[in-house]
Structure 1
């Protein structure tokens, strides 16, 4: 088992665009002393210059998947040189009537170097294995899919 701690802090301020309500901006701090400006999504009176919780969830799922993919590729003797992704999460009304992230689509682009190059089937197997092992993916109920990749 491992523990993963963070801190968030918010202080009351007037909303920059709507004086009748409060600012949703707050700060997240992490164990490595990183600081992240966070707000609500812009659809919910958030600040477009800040990350929102939905983006953070989507990023966490994509990052976890990527880290497992890279480990699996290395174990299989492949040499990933770069990995990028443009994940998209969909906030929708669920059957319960509540809004939730119901789907996260990953769109990884991977470049390999070296003599040993994976074919499409090997890449698909590595993605399937990464998906199965991803801590974040196993912790949320949103469906996570891997779109086209290269």
Structure 2
């Protein structure tokens, strides 16, 4: 068995839940030594649109994980990346019982290389990064990537 890693955060909310329509959804996510993340629910669920919601954070986590593995593999394979931008999207569908689930997330990384002649190596690097991403390996929905 491999090494075990543990992650601790604190999610803190205060208020009153007297009614579904009136309770505050704003909260903070914190961890020792890090700036707090201002969280809320999605605006579709009466949340604050100026704050991060869990669904956005899940999509961001998948994109970050893929990027970090891609950069790692590029560095070890001698491919010099000078820029990386992703504009991922996620689709979540609500169910009749009020719950829901993600149907898919699509990553759209745009990579800039020091040597454009190495562009033919990018599909393989993306495929390998996808296969190694801890987060993508942990979710039960497809995570596709459409690099450009």
TM-score (norm 2): 0.88
The equivalent of 2:23 in structure 1 is 22
The equivalent of 2:12 in structure 1 is 9
Deviations 1:35-81 (A, max 9, x none): 01000000000000000000000000000000000000111101111
Q: CA deviation at 1:30?
A: 2.2
Structure 1 outlier segments of 4+, above 3 Å: none
8 Å Cα contact 2:113-2:119 kept in structure 1? no
Rate the CA distance shift 1:45–1:20 in 2: closer, same or farther, 3 A: closer
Aligned residue pair count = 143
RMSD of aligned Cα (Å): 2.3
8 Å Cα contact 2:87-2:109 kept in structure 1? yes
Q: Secondary structure at the match of 1:132?
A: helix
Unaligned runs of 5+ in 1: none
Unaligned runs of 5+ in 2: none
Rate the CA distance shift 1:10–1:124 in 2: closer, same or farther, 3 A: same
Rate the CA distance shift 1:142–1:75 in 2: closer, same or farther, 3 A: same
